[in-house]
Chains A and B, each alone.
Chain A
Amino acid sequence: MRTILSLNISKTFFVGALVLTALATSCTKDPIICDTCGIAPSYDIPATYVFTRSDSSSVDYAGQTNRIMQLVELNAKLKTGDAGQKLDAQVLKDMFANAGGNGGGAFTFTSTRQLKDKCFSLDASIYAALYDSVALASDSGAVGALAANGKAGLIKRSSGSTILIDKNGFEYTQVNQKGLMGAVFLYQIFNSYLSEAKIGDAVDNTTLVAGKNYTAMEHAADEAFGYFGAPIDFSSNYTGTGTPRYWASYSKEMDAVTGCSDRIMKAFRTMRAAISNKDMTVKNAQREILYVELDKLVASCIIHYANAVLKETNPGNKFHAMSEMYGFMQALKYNTVEKRKITNSELTVLFGYLGTNLWNVTEQGLTNLKNDLATRYGLESIKSTL
């Protein structure tokens, strides 16, 4: 607020102040002030992710929702392995590639989309190998074999339920889930939908895509938003009825400490409004905010799970949290080379703190990892509360 008052008093600010006054009593909306440019846009930024043209919605991210739901169902399948049932590698692969449009019969819905062809291509083979490995391990799980250092099997969590971990302690379900959140969802947001090719100033933002109610640039913004997994009315302290999925659900989990959900949602809404109003300056500013905020969300999740491991006393919970952390660590590499705060060789150092066998993780290693990320991503002040 102090920043606003110290701005030069101008006509623009007068309008801004009026808006602020109007909003002041309701407390339901953000004051509409552009964070980076100091200019209040002349157009409306809707309070929820709803945009229309000629009275009908111009928003479409059905493909992203499909893939998110495919991961939900693939995840549920893997969890049967955590519960001690046998898994079939081919079934998992068919779900990953959406064979026959219904995951080889395993999905409850049909779709032309698939996770596999949107996965960062160099990493797609990792998941095929994971499905082979988990199927093999599930044979041990099915006979109740317990995991040990060097031996895949089940391990009990404090809730009484079990998880299936590989011979190095990695929980398949988490490595797959967090891994694909990075390799598909985040990779696509960063490298496709927020890219110059899809949302840069040169992209067509005038003609509507044939048979659709949106421009190509609007659609790119929607697809990026779709992969975030948020209900249209998502916000900090969200209490709505929609289900935040994956990145949005972790944004919700981190929000009490980071307050990130409002910032991310505001950037998505403002970016989309700016595109529809041909305001390239604001669009580009919001895009930068998303690159930073989503990266920061990943780092926050890693620190959160490092803390969880450091204070954990139940071995099953510990491997579970370490596997989640490992999956989130993978996600750091999917930001674009120019936007990333961490190089590939620095990532190697980071993974070195964890090592390749979770049975050998040390308190010092986790502390190093946490401190590195806190400094790198500006999370020093909240690294102990995350």
Chain B
Amino acid sequence: MNFRILGIISVLLFSSSCTDKQKAAEKTFDLKGMLENVGNNIIVPSYQSFQSTVNILSTAVDTFVANPTTQHLLDTRAAFKSAYISWQKCDVFDFGPAMDHSLRANFNVYPADTSKITSNVGSGSINMDLLDNSAAKGFPAIDFLLYGENKTDAYILSLYMTDAKANNRKQYLKALVSAIRTKTDAVVGAWSAYKSVFNSSLGYSVGSSSGLLVNAMNEYYERYLRDGKVGIPVGIRSLGIALPKQTEAYYGGFSSELLNASIQSFYLLYLGKHGSTNGLGLDDHLGAYDGASIDQTLQSYLTDASAACATLSDPLSQTITNNQSSVEAVYYKLQKVIIPFKVDMPSKLGILISYQDNDGD
């Protein structure tokens, strides 16, 4: 008997009967097709459209700073809101280029640290690189600078015209938008090369694209969508004591709109849907892997959760104050998605959830 053949046979035996993951791979699903759909038709276009809203915001801020009129303030706010909504569709992709550039930690740490913002405006300088400034930059800081807390438009305008620190404030606002723009451009640029990496990192291991995507979706949904946008402000993490000031876009008062944009795009991402085309998504993957019932459960829970979010009115901070239990009910609808999404789906697809919400110690 040829030893080499014996060796090969043993290797074949060894590699064919091992793990569930490998068993799963015998089922047929076009994983590459799903990644291409998600990467080419969802992620890249989402970043590009976010980039264009950021450019519009940048232009609006330049115009406003050069000539602070009521109309320019309103235009800037509209551009800000549009960019913030567009960001909701990108936030979930926190791997690869977004992770390399710490997008989320740069763009959306809220509640804003208003005393730090005020002190930065006072001193006329901000070190964007300093982690301790993370709640004094990004969208939440711009939110504060454009709206203030219960302030009239005339008062806000005066901060950019007659206030002793008007010039510092203008420069600060410009610097915040410019920092967002630089990071956004870097990530959009990086995706043009990363796209092929993403589309071709097949399999289900921790560093594979499906592993990165499903982990990122879980972490985003659990911590930033469910907790950040609803759970924390409504008091889930503070013994039922509501913290309305911790809502996203607290000053602009359009938290619910952001939440709706977030959950809708999350659902579409799950479906692999873009525009009117329903491409390959995780739902199809589940279907091909004997997971149609998990998919049905997930779709029904995501539909319920989206519908519940749609009932929330803005400003969400006031809704929380006036009718806390109605917002708590939305939280529990969001919560129902977690088990099928974080446990059932990954186990069916052979994907390990490797992120931890809170380290054990």
Contacts and interface: CB of A to CB of B under 8 A. Distances in A.
Interface of B: 3-4, 6-11, 13-15, 17-19, 94-96, 99-100, 102, 104-106, 108-109, 127, 129-132, 134-135, 206-207, 212, 223-224, 227-228, 232, 237-239, 352, 354, 356-361
Interface in A334-367: 359-364, 366
Most buried by B among A249, A313, A360: A313
Given A385-B206, A385-B212, A364 B7 contact: no
18 contacts: A5-B8, A13-B3, A13-B7, A17-B10, A75-B361, A160-B237, A173-B361, A253-B359, A257-B206, A311-B99, A313-B105, A313-B108, A318-B131, A318-B134, A361-B131, A364-B129, A366-B131, A384-B95
For B10, B105, B109, B237, the residue with the greatest tally of chain A CB atoms inside 10 Å of its CB is B10
Determine which residue in B18, B354, B359 has the highest number of CB atoms from chain A within 10 A of its CB, and name it: B359
A311 B8 contact: no
Contacts of A318: 131, 134
A239 interface: no
Interface of A: 1, 4-5, 9, 13-14, 17-18, 20-21, 23-25, 27, 31, 75, 149, 157-160, 173-174, 177, 249, 253, 256-257, 307, 309-313, 315, 317-318, 320-321, 324, 359-364, 366, 382, 384-385
Given A24-B17, A384-B99, 7 more contacts: A157-B358, A159-B237, A174-B361, A257-B206, A313-B108, A362-B131, A364-B129
A112 to B, nearest CB: 27
A158 B223 contact: yes
B338 to A, nearest CB: 16
Contacts of A177: 361
B6 A17 contact: yes
B4 A5 contact: yes
B132 A149 contact: yes
Most A Cβ at <10 Å: residue of B106, B132, B207, B352: B132
Contacts of B228: 313
Contact of B109 (A24, A313, A324): A313
Given A27-B17, A362-B130, A158 B358 contact: yes
B17 A25 contact: yes
The 8 A-B residue pairs whose C-beta atoms are closest, nearest first, are A24-B13, A160-B237, A21-B10, A24-B14, A362-B129, A256-B206, A385-B207, A256-B354
Contacts of A249: 360
A74 to B, nearest CB: 13
Contacts of A27: 14, 17-19
Nearest to B236: A160
A310 B223 CA distance: 16
A359 B357 CA distance: 23
A321 B357 CA distance: 12
A4 to B, nearest CB: 7
Contacts of A320: 359
A311 B104 contact: yes
Contacts of B134: 313, 315, 318
A320 B239 CA distance: 22
Nearest to B3: A9
Contacts of B17: 24-25, 27
Contacts of B19: 27
A21 B9 contact: yes
Contacts of A174: 361
B94 A311 contact: yes
A253 B212 CA distance: 16
Nearest to A27: B18
B131 A309 contact: yes
A263 B361 CA distance: 25
Contact of B354 (A14, A257, A359): A257
B207 A17 contact: no
Contacts of B129: 362-364
Contacts of B224: 313
B137 to A, nearest CB: 11
B190 to A, nearest CB: 12
B1 to A, nearest CB: 10
Contacts of B227: 158
Nearest to B14: A24
A41 B15 CA distance: 23
Contacts of A4: 7, 11
A360 B131 CA distance: 7
Nearest to A254: B354
Contacts of B14: 1, 20, 23-24, 27, 31
A313 B118 CA distance: 20
Nearest to B6: A17
Contacts of B18: 27
Given A159-B358, A160-B238, A257-B206, A363 B3 contact: no
B104 A307 contact: no
B200 to A, nearest CB: 15
B135 A310 contact: no
Nearest to B1: A14
Contacts of B100: 384
A159 B127 CA distance: 29
A360 B232 CA distance: 27
A231 B7 CA distance: 33
B248 to A, nearest CB: 11
B7 to A, nearest CB: 5
Contacts of B354: 256-257
Contacts of B106: 363
Nearest to A157: B358
Contacts of B212: 385
